[in-house]
Amino acid sequence: KIKLKNPDEAGTLARKIRSTVAFPFFIRTWMQWNKNLFLAIKIEKIIMAIILSCLIGVALFNVVSSLIMIVIEKTREISILKAIGMRKNGIQKIFLWHGVFMGGIGTLLGLLLAIMVSICLNTFQWIKLSPDVYYLSYLPVEIRLSEACVVCVGMLMVSICASYFPARRAARLYPVEGIRYE
């Protein structure tokens, strides 16, 4: 057995050793020994990405539908604002900011919940692993600030995109439509 300081260099070292060692000896790296484990982790990552994409799609739909409902409910107020001289751009900004606010609150709550669950998973070790199969007795969780920031920025961008169409719809309303029956 050879132990390396950098485990990622195992493949290059194994190739060097294979070129010098004769037939009866076999050289295997830790990656080859645990190939099934890494394949399972890769498949789990793909499945988790699909599940998270579906959840983001549902969140996107919720933001869009709630903003459209707000536009429908506030048709009268939008019409009054347009009748007294507010421009389409101003109304669109109001609804964009409302969508960003809703997305920001959701992102912040989701981040706080994820941090709390991660801390609880590490502290209480809720997800137990079989020591016969894995080298760990529980599933450790690591919070990476860079990944959390990327997810938060991504969710804010998604909420801005989701807010754009309802805001545009609100800006296109004619003042007469909203105050016609008043």
**Structure-block tokens of residue 43:** 């498949």
pLDDT value of residue 139: 85
Confidence of residue 145 (pLDDT cuts 50, 70, 90): very high
Query: How many angstroms separate the CA atoms of 167 and 182, rounded?
Result: 24
- Please give the model's pTM, rounded to 2 decimal places: 0.70
Confidence of residue 182 (pLDDT cuts 50, 70, 90): low
Q: Evaluate if residue 68 carries a pLDDT over 80.
A: yes
Q: Count CB neighbours of 157 within 10 A.
A: 12
Q: What is the mean pLDDT of residues 165-170?
A: 92
pLDDT value of residue 90: 95
Q: Evaluate if residue 31 carries a pLDDT over 90.
A: no
Query: How many angstroms separate the CA atoms of 152 and 150, rounded?
Result: 5
Confidence of residue 105 (pLDDT cuts 50, 70, 90): very high
Long-range own/partner contacts, residues 115-119 (CB < 8 A, 24 or more apart): 115/143, 118/143
**Structure-block tokens of residue 167:** 């805001």
Q: What is the mean pLDDT of residues 131-143?
A: 83
pLDDT value of residue 108: 95
Q: What is the mean pLDDT of residues 161-170?
A: 91
Query: How many angstroms separate the CA atoms of 28 and 32, rounded?
Result: 6
Mean pLDDT of the chain, nearest integer: 89
Q: Are 100 and 159 in contact (CB under 8 A)?
A: yes
Q: Evaluate if residue 133 carries a pLDDT over 80.
A: no
Q: Evaluate if residue 35 carries a pLDDT over 90.
A: no
Confidence of residue 26 (pLDDT cuts 50, 70, 90): confident
